[in-house]
Structure 1
Amino acid sequence: MDTNDQEKLVNCSKGIYQLFDTGGWGRKKEQRQSEVLFIEWASAVTGKGARFNCGGFAEGSEMGGSDRDLTVVIPNMVVLVNDSSEIKDSLVPGHTVFQMCEEGHRSCYAELRLETAETAEVNLVASQTCSLSQLLEVFPDGSKYITSKLVVEKVLKMMRNIRLRDAISVDINGPCGAYKFRAGDFGTGFEDNVYAIKGSAWPPTATEWLQRSRRFDWPSNDVIHQIADLGCLFVPLGDIYSDNQHREWRMSFVLAERLLIWNLNETQSYCYLILKLFLRMNKKITNTILDSFMMKTVLFWVAEETEKSSWKAENLIFCLEACMKKLLYFLQKKELPHYFVKNNNLLHGKMDDGDRIYAIEVKIDSMLGNLTTYVHELVGIICNGSDCIICNDISLSDMFHIDVLDGWLTRYSLHLPVYANTLHLFELAMSFFSIADIDVIQENFENIPQTILKEHVQLAFQIIYSRLGLGLYKHYLTNETVRDGNVEVDLLIEVERLLRFGLEKDAMTGKLQLVTFFIKCGRYTDAEDIIHSIFEEKVVLYEGLPLKGGLYKFAGLGDQRPQTTMAELIESPHIKIATDLYFRIDDWKYLPDALAHECLCYLGSISEQFIGHLVAVSPMVYMYFLSVLIYVHFKRSDVLNVIANLATRVESEQGTEMYQIGLNLLGYCHGLIGQYSNAIYYFQRSFKELPIIRNPCLLYTLMIIHKCSEKRVFE
């Protein structure tokens, strides 16, 4: 390679590295680790069991349309991975114990033989239980094995008992029960829920990994020890080539993989992202052969076999080349060894499709022949040789006039800024916790893991105090004994204090919660002052979930919200975030009537503790809705302008879980000002989105018919 080619590759490496960094991917992994660990810690201290976010979401490598993977450890069960009496003696009494039986099975697969009584109840989905005996297969010799097939079928049945309001269906996806959701611009998405049994220790079949000679000390000894302590899980999935598939369970090292990804440096992480982009851009030929787990495995092998100092920004293309050559080598050898269990070939049974394998090899060869052009193609940037803005190392700020970065972020990043997802995750997670749970979390804050970022601790504090404030107000509304004289005044002052503590957790959510409190108390002037304070700040607002969120500039309550261009974004002093608002169905007492009705229609259902029974509304829609209530109270003549803005925001949310609620809010607002035909129009559209009797649009329609028949004003 001559000097010019070498320089071009270095410049391209730096440019692509900077592009990923500008897109937030560098910070994203660190943020996501902290987010995930906080949520898991909060679940653990409140006794909600072991639930782990895994896969691309937990790693911070998810892209548009990616699935979300949740691993739930079945409580009070354990798998003995060896015959050590010492391990048996250390088990907590009351656990249902299984013995791993690997003999005669492919590496990483085993049958699980019951070692204790079968009288136990198994707690699976949403506290639904079944008898352990329903999941067992009994052999002639009296031995009993828990069967993966029966577990998955039982999980699927239980998941279908819980109706998620934006779920399209529930199906089996490998070892998982998978909720299929509407996912905005990406059509549909999946949340895979796998129910696993914890292993008692690190499995003997993976001992080689612990003892492996590592020339370049990756991973570090500290990480190796942490991974050994994590052990493994067993998930209900058998080897498809086995006669005993229905009984087999697969060893899962998802927690170890997650920890390794979190310990990658940024160049390694960006290589992994490009490998995943390679799959995405070539899924027609790779779909049945390769997957992101294999790409991750390739990266782990290359990281272990490469000098640490090589993984730096100027070498990104060279490191990617090493990964692609390693993948090609595995394909040609017809063997891709599992990173933790080398004798488990991940390509087992996949090499019969010679035409498809050949097509992948040709694609990789072509890519290796001109890596810079191919990388530009992956990230959606057109390379014009010497004029390429990446290869010539021009500042990325010069790219904005041709919208390259804007388009790339829209397609792949979904994460500008990174903080938006943190805020959304914490708000959503806190919505699952009762006020008693939140008290426990607050009491245990001094024991929070050090790996959780300080800004996340502060954010969690603010969200928790907001939830405590709302909980205290609900206590006030439901207990007449506290509504008396000084006790009432002191209690309401404390509610306001708690809500104000969370006022600045984001651009809008904390303030809108305080506005809701003021409106419920009849303090409309105070409520309007808070609404106006949102618009007085000269900031760019990143609103809602990445799936539907946009960047907006405030320009006064009565104006439309044009989307901000990337150039304006770069010039803005800073960005403020506004996440969606989530209300539990038992929060209805402190909500405005229209949202209270959304909750009340689900009250009494079997799954009120879960996401299907969280009422979600986007911040911009909620802000305009509250503004309409204020304008109606003061009898403002320009209330139609605010309703028009509400309509614009609602219509922008088609395809999201909040669209149907937005239509109901819009119809309700038209009803408030006596525009009954418009109200009926939006209620009809809401019913088309959610045609069930629990949709409050039916209630509103009957109210309008009744009130119109009596010629009374709709209040």
Structure 2
Amino acid sequence: MSGIPDYAHNLSLKMSQVMDGIGVNEKIVMKRRRLRLLNESIITLSHQLRGEDANIFIFGSKIEGTTTLGLHSDTDCLTSVNKFNVIQDWSEWENGKRNFLMIQDEYVSPGYCLLQELRDDAPLPLVVESHGNSYRDRMGRILLKNTFFNVVANVNSVRHGPAHTNQGVSGVTGLDFVPAFPCHVRPVQARHWLNQHREELWPTSDMIQYCNNTRCFVVGVGRKGSVNEAVEWRISTSFAERFLMFNLSITQIRCYVLMKMILKTFITPRFPDSISSFMCKTVLIHCILYTRSDAWKENTLFICLSFCLSTLYNCVHNEYCPHFFITQNNLMSGKFSPESKPLILKTLRYVIESNGKALLVIECDNIDKYLQSSLNDFIPMHPHFIPTLIAGQLLKCDARGISTNFNFLLSKMNDLSPRLAMQKNLTFMSYHHIENYTNIDKKAYLLIARYLCSTLGSILASSNIYQQDHLTYKKALSFMLLGLDSDVASGKLKLASVFYCTGDIWRTEIILKNIEECYDLSVVEPVCGCYHFKNGAKRERFNKLCYESNEECTLLRYITASCVCFIRCEINCCPLELQHEMFRSTQEDFAYRNKDDEWMNMAVVDSLPYLYFLQYKTYSRLGRQDDKQTALSNIARTIDVEPNLGHRETALNLLGQCMEQENNLESAFKCYARSLQIRGRNNSAKIHICKLLNKLINRKYNN
């Protein structure tokens, strides 16, 4: 490195400092990985607890830690459907699964395969087309078309290659769901590089061995322009790729992020379908493979970036970028038109030859401003809160994931009888594969199990209230105690609801006091996983704690407050005012729901306004007027000032009913009207307005 000019070392250090400041540092990268892996386990577990034989894997920038706030990366979720089995040898055929034989010959594009359908009862080829996605080729083989998964796609999604991307959901970054078939033995094409004798330090022999043992997938998309495009399936080595990305140094990660920013700034706006981020990742891996590990340092970041860009330039010039694992697969084949290629090369040449000046026009994440400030030695050169903001976003995202997946489980019980709901809940909690869980899977299970304990206890208590079964009541309390610290409030609020509905006001008050003491308004973040909505700014102290702690599972329990959910067989543990939320929809309203609105069949309320509502009801029974009015004021204040309530309309409905009980009918009507402004359909405010109008008419008539 002695021949490198001093300005390159200085620029590299400044670039490294800026990347650290926007959250591309070891701490945030590891936090992204931990929380995304936890989220992956939670999603998989919730599907399996519901009886779906599938594994969900998260791939791409968000789990690799190779993204920033300004890159707006999508989340790639691959769903491996385990009832299918892709084999390469007849000995791999499995009874009880739908098997396909992978075919790779000279007529199939490199990196792709054909799937021949096999019989269910024996390892033999299927000879008769059995469904609309079957295709008989010229050799008489029954092949599976790659449109097979289209029938299971979300009606609100749009297909992009093998993925189905959610569209039109407010406040949500794109989610790409990729259904896939598992292939437990690596295809021959993907083993070539693993079998080579290597003397390089990266990847190490242990890394190669791990990659060799990881599964592959096949996803439903063929190579564009191929004669077999309708029946080709792409071979995915995402598991091994993710593992390699997990073993990059922070300088290598920063180099990749900068490549993506350059792409976003200079290439994508003019040539959107030319160079992809995956090509940049492949170029980076090839560059790492042929350089020494000590070449990638903070003070050589600019040199490494220039090397990667020069390699990318050569790839575009030659229209050749071999897939890292499947080298026969040229990622750039047919990607550039004769008109666009010279312009792309000219743009890349400008960036490479600018000696770093091109970096000063990258607006993504304000790199231009921060780098200019750093080069001029201005302090501060970047906002200190960005890494803490990212940490807060990551933790709340996982909290929402837990809430969403728990709601999915509740939706399976909502229309069941109390007895069947209890059986379903116990089945969830005694999931028989837990002994095979990894450490992170066990953490995911415990996080969900606490919510399940609260629900089971509440179902038992509701049954007790109906049947007056004292033994059942004791069992109910024992389960609810196990779920008290599911988060800072919702588990305790469930218990307080049970005490309130059984008339135990003294215990109700004690629990509510404890919740209020634990619920630090400057720290605790409300969490709603019922539907997607744009959150407001998070609390600075919440973000700070998220950044400083590496024990995210503990933080989830003590600085987040999930919604409180009651299914219909818990109705006797749900205050009368909240029960209306279980019947919020008219027949006409049902037409305005989508498949993710099953939560509307439950009574769901944010923890903080529900805390104050229960305080209002408790102090009303105790005859403590000052405390009652304070609780009423707190409900109104929370509705007005808390930016992250997911069920503000429900809080307004509760406040309106409190106002009715205060005989303030005008204020009650205003609450219901505000509620309808927030959610015009599927809102129990309509019921309350009808009852209120009836009350007003009767009052006028009686007077």
TM tier relative to shorter chain: 0.7 to 0.9
Aligned AA (1:254)? S
Aligned AA (1:448)? Y
Cα distance change on mapping 1:258 and 1:710 into 2, 3 Å: farther
| In 2, Cα distance between equivalents of 1:270 and 1:598 | 49
Q: 2:649 aligns with which of 659, 663, 670?
A: 663
Say whether the 8 Å CA contact 2:649–2:679 is kept in structure 1. no
1:710 partnered with 2:698: yes
| In 2, Cα distance between equivalents of 1:201 and 1:569 | 40
Instruction: Give the equivalent residue in structure 2 for 1:234.
Output: 218
Say whether the 8 Å CA contact 1:14–1:314 is kept in structure 2. no
Aligned AA (2:523)? V
Instruction: Give the equivalent residue in structure 2 for 1:137.
Output: 135
Aligned AA (1:540)? V
Instruction: Give the equivalent residue in structure 2 for 1:170.
Output: 157
Instruction: Name the count of aligned residue pairs.
Output: 642
Deviation at 1:98, TM superposition (A): 3.2
1:623-650 CA distance string (max 9 Å, x none): 0233134225425234553233233256
Aligned AA (2:690)? L
1:352 partnered with 2:337: yes
Say whether the 8 Å CA contact 2:669–2:689 is kept in structure 1. no
Instruction: Give the equivalent residue in structure 2 for 1:26.
Output: 29
Q: 1:58 aligns with which of 52, 59, 63?
A: 63
| In 1, Cα distance between equivalents of 2:357 and 2:497 | 54
Q: 2:426 aligns with which of 412, 428, 436?
A: 436
Cα distance change on mapping 1:598 and 1:182 into 2, 3 Å: farther
Moved more, 577-586 or 49-58: 577-586
Moved more, 262-271 or 541-550: 541-550
Deviation at 1:346, TM superposition (A): 1.3
| In 2, Cα distance between equivalents of 1:198 and 1:602 | 41
Q: 1:146 aligns with which of 126, 144, 149?
A: 144
Instruction: Give the equivalent residue in structure 1 for 2:688.
Output: 700
Aligned AA (2:243)? L
Q: 1:425 aligns with which of 401, 411, 433?
A: 401
| In 1, Cα distance between equivalents of 2:135 and 2:451 | 50
Larger Rg: 2
Moved more, 246-255 or 9-18: 9-18
Instruction: Give the equivalent residue in structure 1 for 2:668.
Output: 676
1:540 partnered with 2:523: yes
SS of corresponding position for 2:391: coil
| In 1, Cα distance between equivalents of 2:375 and 2:652 | 47
Cα distance change on mapping 1:577 and 1:323 into 2, 3 Å: farther
1:116 partnered with 2:113: no
SS of corresponding position for 1:551: coil
The 5 A counterparts of 1:541-690 are 541-544=524-527, 548-552=535-539, 577-578=559-560, 580-581=562-563, 583=565, 589=571, 590-592=573-575, 596-600=579-583, 611-614=596-599, 621-635=606-620, 636-639=628-631, 641-649=633-641, 652=643, 659=646, 661-674=647-660, 675-688=667-680
Cα distance change on mapping 1:198 and 1:696 into 2, 3 Å: same
SS of corresponding position for 1:677: helix
Aligned AA (2:430)? V
Aligned AA (1:153)? N
Aligned AA (1:671)? Q
1:415 partnered with 2:391: yes
| In 2, Cα distance between equivalents of 1:624 and 1:538 | 12
| In 2, Cα distance between equivalents of 1:70 and 1:496 | 34
The 5 A counterparts of 1:214-253 are 214-253=198-237
SS of corresponding position for 2:159: strand
* Consecutive unaligned residues in structure 2, runs of 5 or more: 124-128, 410-423, 621-627, 661-666
| In 1, Cα distance between equivalents of 2:650 and 2:565 | 16
The 5 A counterparts of 1:326-365 are 326-352=311-337, 354-355=339-340, 358-359=343-344, 361-363=346-348, 365=350
Aligned AA (1:247)? V
Moved more, 91-100 or 18-27: 18-27
TM-score, normalised by the number of residues in structure 1: 0.77
Deviation at 1:147, TM superposition (A): 0.8
Deviation at 1:587, TM superposition (A): 7.0
1:167-223 CA distance string (max 9 Å, x none): xx3222222333225242xxx533222221222521112222212454433223223
| In 2, Cα distance between equivalents of 1:54 and 1:571 | 26
Moved more, 510-519 or 106-115: 510-519
Instruction: Give the equivalent residue in structure 1 for 2:417.
Output: none
Deviation at 1:533, TM superposition (A): 0.5
SS of corresponding position for 2:131: helix
Deviation at 1:458, TM superposition (A): 5.5
The 5 A counterparts of 1:154-303 are 154-156=151-153, 159-160=154-155, 169-184=156-171, 188-282=172-266, 283-303=268-288
Q: 2:75 aligns with which of 61, 68, 77?
A: 68
Instruction: Give the equivalent residue in structure 2 for 1:87.
Output: 92
| In 2, Cα distance between equivalents of 1:179 and 1:303 | 35
Q: 1:48 aligns with which of 52, 71, 82?
A: 52
Aligned AA (2:144)? I
SS of corresponding position for 2:182: strand
| In 1, Cα distance between equivalents of 2:352 and 2:488 | 45
Deviation at 1:107, TM superposition (A): 1.0
| In 1, Cα distance between equivalents of 2:569 and 2:161 | 37
The 5 A counterparts of 1:468-483 are 468-478=453-463, 483=468
Aligned AA (1:436)? L
1:664-694 CA distance string (max 9 Å, x none): 3313422331323313312431444xx4xx4
| In 1, Cα distance between equivalents of 2:198 and 2:32 | 25
1:259-309 CA distance string (max 9 Å, x none): 222232333333333333333444313421122222222222222222223
Q: CA RMSD in A?
A: 4.3
TM-score, normalised by the number of residues in structure 2: 0.78
Percentage of identical aligned residues: 18
Deviation at 1:570, TM superposition (A): 9.9
Q: 2:84 aligns with which of 55, 77, 89?
A: 77
Deviation at 1:352, TM superposition (A): 0.4
